[in-house]
Amino acid sequence: MLKAIIFDLDGTLLDRQASLKVFVENQHQRMAELQSIDKITYVNRFIALDQRGYVWKDRVYQQLTREYETALAWEDLLEDYVQNFNLHCIGFPNLHEILTHLKQGGMRLGLITNGMGAFQLKNIEALGISPYFDTMLVSEIEGLRKPDPEIFLRALNNLGVQPNEAAYVGDHPENDVLASRRVGMKGIWKVDAHFEGDFERDYTIQDLMELKHYLEQLEIGLD
């Protein structure tokens, strides 16, 4: 019987692409030294260099300052990102509704995310979702990164459940879905058009509320 659901953060609960676009637009607007660069050009170049979050921002800002010869040091732009990105965090639709539904129904909830510790924790707080979770693991703090099986096993141990009693929900086919299935969990893919859908998973959702349908299929009725 399913007793726990563990979530990814970026691309699953946090709409990172939308959040990033809003932040970069705001950064361009706030900083006079960037005004010589066309805003759309700056935003699009940042997003391209970011590679969906898989390139840390020190490299992104170093490249931007070289290309546009800005008066601002890349370190200043990076510090602004670290301090202010959380002010622009946007959750996916039905984020609080599904977490409330699961929690009130007695489901144990966890979160595993790759990323920098303090940065990711600030984003979680900005979404207002930390009270829902019984355990939260951030790769920098844990010294482990998905798809390492140990980080999944650590979360399961914290929740007091066996792998076959838990499901993992994420957008990345390898780091989230296949990695969780390899340790014996159910792997649920939250569709991201950037990734190919030809891989094994236990369920597919477009919207977070579709998790209710999955539980109903398993004949798990949450009050």
Chain segment 61-99, per-residue pLDDT in tens: 999 999 999 889 999 999 999 999 999 999 999 999 999
Q: What is the DSSP letter of 173?
A: I
Tell me which fold the domain 4-15+90-217 belongs to: Rossmann fold (3.40.50)
The pLDDT, as a whole number, for residue 221 is: 54
Rounded-to-integer distance, Cα 223 and Cα 220, Å: 10
Tens of pLDDT, residues 161-179: 999 999 999 999 999 999 9
Q: Collect all residues with Cβ–Cβ distance below 8 Å to 150 and sequence separation of at least 6.
A: 144
Query: Are 70 and 34 contacting, i.e. CB atoms less than 8 angstroms apart?
Result: yes
The enclosing H or E element of 167 equals strand 166-170
Global pTM reads 0.94
**Amino acid at position 135, single letter:** T
Give yes or no for residue 222 having a pLDDT over 90: no
What six digits make up the tokens of 131? 């009270």
Write down the pLDDT at residue 53: 85
**pLDDT exceeds 70 at position 104:** yes
Please tell me the distance from the alpha carbon of residue 177 to that of residue 171, in angstroms, as a whole number. Answer: 8
* Percent helix, strand and coil across the chain, each to the nearest 5: 55, 15, 30
Q: Six-digit token pair at 32?
A: 């006079």
* pLDDT-above-70 percentage for the chain: 98
Q: What pLDDT, on a 0 to 100 scale, did the predictor assign at position 112?
A: 98
- Per-residue pLDDT at 213 exceeds 60: yes
Alpha carbon distance 146, 140 (integer Å): 11
Going from the C-alpha of 113 to that of each of 36, 72, 133, 145, 220, the distances in angstroms are: 36, 31, 13, 8, 26
Domain ranges of the chain: 4-15+90-217, 16-88
Confidence of residue 196 (pLDDT cuts 50, 70, 90): confident
Q: Angle CA(85)–CA(86)–CA(92) in degrees, nearest 5? A: 105
The enclosing H or E element of 211 equals helix 211-217
In the structure, what pLDDT confidence band is assigned to residue 218 with cuts at 50, 70 and 90? Answer: confident
Residues 171 and 199: their CA atoms lie apart, in Å, by 12
Residue type, 72: L
* % of residues, the chain, pLDDT over 90: 90
